[in-house]
């Protein structure tokens, strides 16, 4: 999905694109749950990606084409933020 340059609407370009993460908790909370377009935050509904505990966990998505990214939106399944302290966003362009 490419958003019109002259609008301010939110554009979810990462929805259903290939995603991966450091590990998959309990073999059921894979990376694709984070960008499947659903906004629920319940683990019971398999609507969140979750990795095993790690010193430097990561999640990534391949947008497929070079894009100008003007914002990144996160939804935390924990209101207090204890599961996502200090989120760091890094945007890279893959080399051909």
Q: How far is CA 61 from CA 5, 7, 91, in A?
A: 22, 24, 10
Tell me the two tokens of residue 7: 């609008």
Domain boundaries, the chain: 1-96
CA 32 to chain centroid: 8
Q: What is the pLDDT of residue 1?
A: 42
Residues paired with residue 60 on neighbouring β-strands, in sequence order: 20
CA–CA gap between residue 71 and residue 73 (Å, rounded): 7
pLDDT at 96: 59
- The CA distance from 29 to 3, in Å, is 29
Tens digit of pLDDT for each residue in 17-64? 999 999 999 999 999 998 888 877 777 788 788 888 888 888 999 988
* Mean of per-residue pLDDT scores for the chain: 78
pTM for the full predicted model = 0.76
3-state secondary structure of 65: coil
Residue 8 reports pLDDT greater than 50: no
């Amino acid at each position: 999905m490419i958003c019109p340059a002259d609008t301010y609407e939110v554009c979810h370009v990462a929805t259903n694109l290939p995603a991966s993460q450091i590990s998959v908790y309990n073999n059921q909370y894979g990376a694709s749950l984070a960008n499947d377009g659903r906004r629920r935050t319940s683990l019971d509904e398999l609507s969140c990606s979750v990795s095993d505990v790690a010193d430097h966990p990561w999640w990534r998505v391949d947008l497929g084409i070079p894009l100008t990214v003007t914002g990144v939106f996160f939804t935390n399944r924990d209101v207090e933020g204890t599961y996502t302290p200090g989120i760091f966003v890094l945007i890279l362009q893959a080399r051909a």
